[in-house]
Amino acid sequence: MTVNAYIQQNQHRFTKYFAELISKRSLSETGEGIDETVDYLTDLLKTLLHAEVQVVETEGNPVILATLSPGKAQTYLFYGHYDVQSVGNLHDWRTDPFSLTEEDGRFYGRGCGDNKGQLLAQILGIYTYLQLHGDLPFTLRLFIEGEEEIGSPHLQPTVASLNKQLLADVDDVFVMDGSFSQSGKHVLRLGNRGVLAFRLSTQVADHDLHSGNFGNVSRNAALELLNALNKLVDPSTYHVKVPGFYDKVQGPSQAEEQWLSELPMPTDVPSPLFKDKHDYYRRLMFMPTLTINGLTSGYQGDYIKTIIPHQACAVVDCRLVAGQTCQEVKGLIKKALADELASGRVQLHFLAGLDPTKMDPHLPLIRRVQAAIKKGTGDCLIEPVMPGSVPNYIWVDELHVPVFTIPLANYDQHNHAPNENLQVQAFWDGISLIANLCFELGKENTERG
């Protein structure tokens, strides 16, 4: 029996598991439903996969670590997360967010796309492989996190602790999260941009000043802030002016250039800055940014209020690329604003940081993974770098292994928003993809052996 035939034969049962998992609230922000979800998944992993399951306690929500076929020559780690975002305003939902609903070729419910549908596709894909082929020819560790939706605050110390024993043998990591191409084609991502976020603020007085009485004789907090921002980025070209910011940036290799040429033309890009398709993807994947997320200062009402603002604030993020690190860029920003910081005219507070990752484009395993995605879904694009930022650097820094990201959800999944969904076909394709990935990794394991 083929993989797809087995999946079709078991669609009703697989949908039942999906409905059960969606009904568990698992809100990492509040803790609601976390224990219930962990118990459900633990039982499912033991019952379906006969896995050795450990619930690893952290300073926050627990991690579920399941092991299959221990002791094999190669070990692969599959990552997913069981926590979900809050639902927001229930009136904005067309269905009950915690009751799986199928309409017009889509499953609706909180977590359908991010990440319960993708997590369950992993479990059911492995199950399908086991039913068709028996024991896995490699050791598999399923690492299921419970805090991804609140920034994975305890992921790094947990991985570092487990690396001493349970994760020490991992050869490669596979992250199943995110959305595949807007074109509808599935993708393999070999890296991601990092992010460094910070707040710049200025204060020149204890209160706003009258612009007639104090104009030309007192400082303006808004202008002080704009002066600092002008040292960081050119508003006419968007070029980052911080000295040394681009020094370690790595451009695309020949293989990566080829992958970029095969990606679809971008559509519906508002206020475009790019020249053509190549420039679009080069900017998104291989060029760092400095973006002003928000500006706040003074009076912004409908009438007139003649004041000099006494405070101003800007929230900024930098998307970083391979060759850059958060620590190094922090130092460059501090140096660029040294005079303003030393005088006290500007205050700088770093908010968050994730380092970028990028895999070697010549890794032999890439062709195996691409083949599995093609078998499971019909096609596979390769994105050398994901434009967004995820904590994949933790696997690289702690385990020192390659990380492959394989999103299993549709581009318009509405994750984090009302009416989150997963295309029904994407769910079946995801199961097929994982089953075929197990098959291809088994062939890789045989060749390495």
Q: Which pLDDT belongs to residue 448? A: 59
Tokens of 46: 């033991």
Q: Give pLDDT, residue 390.
A: 87
Q: What is the pTM for the complete model shown? A: 0.91
Q: What's the confidence (pLDDT) of residue 443?
A: 82
The conformation of residue 369, written as its DSSP 8-state character, comes to: H
> Each residue of 202-211: pLDDT tens digit?
999 999 999 9
Residue 119 inside a domain? The answer is yes
Compute, in degrees rounded to 10, the torsion defined by CA atoms 217, 223, 224, 225.
160
Same domain, 217 and 319: yes
Instruction: Note whether 171 and 227 are same-domain residues.
Output: no
Q: Give the integer Cα–Cα distance in Å for 348 and 447.
A: 53
Does residue 294 come out as left (phi exceeding 0), alpha (psi in the -120 to 50 range) or beta? beta
Instruction: Quote the CA–CA distance of 51 and 70 in Å, as a whole number.
Output: 10
Q: State the CB neighbour count (10 A cutoff) for residue 347.
A: 15
Q: Given 305, 339, 354, which residue is the final one in a domain?
A: 354
- Which of 332, 354, 376 finishes a domain? 354
Query: DSSP state, 34?
Result: H
* 57 φψ region: left (φ > 0), alpha (ψ -120 to 50), beta (else): beta
Q: Is residue 407 part of a domain?
A: yes
How many separate domains does the chain show? 2
Number of helices (H) and strands (E), helices first, in the chain? Answer: 14, 19
CATH (domain of 345): 3.30.70.360
**How does pLDDT run across 294-319, given as a tens digit for each residue?**
999 999 999 999 999 999 999 999 99
| Phi and psi torsions of 375, nearest 5° | -65, -40
Structural domain containing residue 226: 194-249+288-354
Q: What is the pLDDT of residue 162?
A: 96
| Position 58, amino acid | T
Give a yes or no: residue 140 inside a domain.
yes
Quote the mean pLDDT of the chain.
96
Residue 271: inside a domain, yes or no? no
Cα atoms in the 13 Å half-sphere on the side-chain side of 105: 4
Please name the helix (run of DSSP H) or strand (run of DSSP E) that holds residue 231, with its range, or none. Answer: helix 221-232
Tell me, yes or no, whether 282 lies in a domain. no
Tokens representing 234? 């050119």
Helix (H) or strand (E) holding 349: strand 347-354
Give per-residue pLDDT as tens, 253-301: 999 999 999 999 988 889 888 999 999 999 999 999 999 999 999 999 9
- Identity at 199, one-letter amino acid code: R
Q: What separation in angstroms does the CA of 41 have from each of 18, 53, 117, 283?
A: 11, 10, 13, 40
Report the Cα 245 to chain-centroid distance in Å: 24
pLDDT digits (tens, 9 = 90+) for 332-367: 999 999 999 999 999 999 999 999 999 999 999 999
Residue at a domain's end among 337, 354, 371: 354
Q: What is the pLDDT of residue 182?
A: 87
**Among 28, 15, 30, residue whose Cα is nearest residue 114:** 28
pLDDT (0 to 100) of residue 268:
85
